[in-house]
Structure 1
Amino acid sequence: MSQALVTGARPLPRAAGMGARDASSRTSAGFVRGARSGSPCCVSSRPQSSIQQSRRRRGEREARPMLSGAVERSRSVAASSAAADVSGGGEGSSAAPKASLLHAFWKFTRPHTIRGTILGSVALTSRVLLEHSDAIRWILLPRAFAGLVALLCANAFIVGINQIYDVRIDEVNKPYLPIAAGEMSQSTAWVIISTLGLIGLTIVHTLFGQHIALLYTLSLVIGAIYSVPPLRLKQRPLPAMACIVLCRGFLLNYGVNDAACAALGVPFEWKFPVAFITGFVTCFAVIISAAKDLPDVEGDKKENVQTFATWLGTGKVAMASVALLMLNYLVAMFLGMAQPDMFNSPVMVVGHMVLSFFLVNQATKLHHTGYSQQGIKGFYRFIWNLFYAEYFLYPFI
């Protein structure tokens, strides 16, 4: 067979040149070697169709990632266009920037603290009104609303100045906040908190007495030194806790009760329910001051901010918070049973028993997550929900 292949090859024309003869001889030799080895196909010269198929498959493999990336980019562009259409955005439209600015302002005020301030002030005032219903005058309603506005201004001032000085930490821990996310400039934030602070001070100095104005001013000063250098008390665990406990625990509860009594023309008294809610929320503020740092360990360590969470670890601080809050609930249930003349015992006992059950359930969930970042964030949100629930109970205890 090899001899036939060799002798049967047509002589190439002389014009084809030496290159063609060399190629022909190499091809013939290849066929000879393949024949002698018994191989069914040519080894050194594959059929042209096989080469083309190999090249086509290699091209498809190389093109597949490029095609996938192009599809993803087209999907992203389409989604962005759809979002712009839904929001009414587009070139020359001011609706989207305005909505974005309002959303940034809303995040800037830290809504979970706003809810706590509103619920606290409404619950405390409602209790005073229920106890002195004969002294209610509807003409006082605008004054009460102005007082609530002043409290919200103070709340926004305190959390706002904290974001201005915590921007580097927030870029790690809370990148969704408006300054850290680049949605709001620091100059804009300064204008906002300065305006809100002046509005709040004007309200309390105009409509409320000197005593309430002094308490209000004190809360603003404490909120400032919590965040502003050189004091920046938030860098040390105990001073930071003292600031939060004093503002959120004592000043809010005592100040709102005192202001409500003064508006009705009745003397302020440390009655059992008032003393209870002030003491309970003060202890709760201790828990919040420790739990608020649980999701922020990474950024706090990076900026050398010392907290109980960075010092003791998230697991220990979380369980200590659960234990302290459970003790708070046990004391509330004990007071409800021991002082039936001073409290509404069914509400005090059953209400706090239900809340303690939810607390244990949430603590169990946190433990099963291995104190993951997601579990810690859920736990901290739940602590605030329990804080809101206490103010829901307060008018009825």
Structure 2
Amino acid sequence: MAAMGVTNLRAASKPLKRTRLHSYHSEKSSGVSLQSSGGRVAASSSSSLSGFFLTHDQRTHSRPSVGVYASSSAASADSSGFNEPKEDDDDSSSVAAFLGACWKFVRPHTIRGTILGTTALVTRCLLEADPSLINWKLLPTALMGLFALLCGNGYIVGINQIYDVNIDAVNKPFLPVASGELSKAKAWVLCLGFAAAGMAAVLLNYGTLISALYAFGLFIGWAYSVPPLRLKRSAFLAFLCIATVRGFLLNFGVYYATQAALQGWGGGAIQSLLGNAPATAPAISAIAWSPAIIFITTFVTVFATAIAITKDLPDAEGDRREGITTFTTQYGVPAVATLGTGLLLSNYVLAVTVAMLNPSSAFHRPLFMMAAHAAAAGYLLWSRSELGKANCTQPAIKEFYRRVWNCFYWEYLIFPFC
């Protein structure tokens, strides 16, 4: 009996080697794996968006025998039908990877800021407007405005990645152009597509003033990153660009466009040029500016300046290599973090003061406004303290900058309720 067992073991070992070789090729295409080691056979399969990945966590134990060879041969036979490439899976994986790269390309944290800002401003305008002017038929126009702003956002941050690829390779290697997930050619196609789609949406739905402001915003985004101007090389001009686009243009533009839609001041700029617009929009001086809108425009412009100053905190190494002068490369992380914190604290003092004075009873909940801004100021001071405790390490710097953006989001979240 012992001799027969040895004979059976030897007889089974040869087919097992062939089975393992066959399964090795099969697992690449089907996700079915068979492995023999010390008389053990493992089979497992798993899948993901990018293809099939194999694990060996499930193991079964059995005596080496001809039955093992029979079962493994059957498994190989079952898997042989999957040996041919699955084009649909490859295509879906490629599409998923491309969409993921595009999402990183548009910088999600800036997208959130644009959506929150637009929504808060429109909501405030509607709360202050004559209810008889509110018409659900205006919703498509509002959505096209948001679409245009998101396209402009994508264009500006995208073109910056194209021209900052060497800097991002050091500072932000996870970005798709720097990492190679997106080629420069594809990035250019996306940027030009964003600019064209956004400009078309504005021209078809809004007047000449909004169209001109939108085009001006695109120009600033281009001048910020693209030689020969490349305004980001100057620390002062860099934060001036960001404060103008994120602060004044966004808030003023959304408010004016909302008023134009509510008052029925006419269709798009193209319709105006063709003489088909039902009404002519008034001059800027003729608009009744809400104190609340004046406040948020001023507040966010100052806040955008602070963001422009602190955004370079995590990028000092790459900026130095590329000869980019920023406040961080000149004065160091602790000083710039303190400067940004001080600027934002002055903003919060302004907000609390405005809430206390409450000019023209513009704010319906001044106590809530004071408490919300005081809480934000406390959160900011705590964040700066945590950065100091961590000795300004790179992870701590990134966390501090993320918290600055949290304060930015918070402002727009509370604005409609102040």
Is 1:351 matched up with 2:372?
yes
Instruction: Give 2:132's aligned residue.
Output: 134
Is 1:289 matched up with 2:286?
no
Q: Is the 8 A contact 2:223 2:231 kept in 1?
A: yes
2:414, 2:50 → 1: CA distance? 43
Q: Is the 8 A contact 1:292 1:380 kept in 2?
A: yes
- The TM-score, its normalising length taken from structure 2, stands at 0.74
1:395, 1:307 → 2: CA distance? 35
1:336, 1:231 → 2: CA distance? 41
Q: 3-state DSSP class of the match of 1:118? A: helix
Alpha-carbon displacement from aligned partner over 1:260-283 (angstroms, at most 9, x marks no partner): 000000773222101100000000
Picking from 164, 174, 177, the partner of 1:176 is 174
Q: Is the 8 A contact 1:89 1:95 kept in 2?
A: no
For structure 1, the residue ranges without an aligned partner over 5 or more in a row are 1-76
Higher strand share goes to which structure?
Answer: 2
Picking from 183, 188, 195, the partner of 1:197 is 195
Q: How does 1:141-290 map to 2 (within 5 A)?
A: 141-265=139-263, 268-290=287-309
1:247, 1:84 → 2: CA distance? 47
Q: Is the 8 A contact 1:160 1:189 kept in 2?
A: yes
Is 1:377 matched up with 2:398?
yes
1:268, 1:315 → 2: CA distance? 43
1:88, 1:236 → 2: CA distance? 42
Greater alpha carbon shift after TM alignment, 335-344 vs 192-201: 335-344
What is the identity, as a one-letter code, of the residue corresponding to 1:254?
F
Aligned length: 319
What is the identity, as a one-letter code, of the residue corresponding to 2:99?
L
The alpha-carbon distance between structure 1 residues 140 and 255, as it changes in their structure 2 partners (threshold 3 A), is: same
Higher helix share goes to which structure?
Answer: 1
What is the identity, as a one-letter code, of the residue corresponding to 1:315?
P
Instruction: Give 2:47's aligned residue.
Output: 85
State the shift of 1:85 in Å: 2.1
Instruction: Give 1:336's aligned residue.
Output: 355
Q: Is the 8 A contact 2:155 2:194 kept in 1?
A: yes
1:177, 1:346 → 2: CA distance? 42
- The TM-score, its normalising length taken from structure 1, stands at 0.78
1:178, 1:264 → 2: CA distance? 41
What is the identity, as a one-letter code, of the residue corresponding to 1:120?
G
The alpha-carbon distance between structure 1 residues 83 and 306, as it changes in their structure 2 partners (threshold 3 A), is: farther
The alpha-carbon distance between structure 1 residues 88 and 291, as it changes in their structure 2 partners (threshold 3 A), is: closer
State the shift of 1:311 in Å: 0.6
Q: 3-state DSSP class of the match of 1:386? A: helix
Is 1:102 matched up with 2:103?
no
What is the identity, as a one-letter code, of the residue corresponding to 1:112?
H
Instruction: Give 2:117's aligned residue.
Output: 120
Alpha-carbon displacement from aligned partner over 1:340-368 (angstroms, at most 9, x marks no partner): 62323112211101111111111111110
What is the identity, as a one-letter code, of the residue corresponding to 1:392?
L
2:328, 2:188 → 1: CA distance? 30
Q: Is the 8 A contact 2:49 2:96 kept in 1?
A: no
Picking from 324, 328, 336, the partner of 1:317 is 336
Greater RCO, CA 8 A, separation 6+: 1
Q: Tell which structure's C-alpha radius of gyration is larger.
A: 1
Instruction: Give 1:73's aligned residue.
Output: none
1:356, 1:85 → 2: CA distance? 47
Alpha-carbon displacement from aligned partner over 1:150-176 (angstroms, at most 9, x marks no partner): 000000000000000000000000000
The alpha-carbon distance between structure 1 residues 84 and 223, as it changes in their structure 2 partners (threshold 3 A), is: farther
What is the identity, as a one-letter code, of the residue corresponding to 1:137?
N
State the shift of 1:84 in Å: 7.5
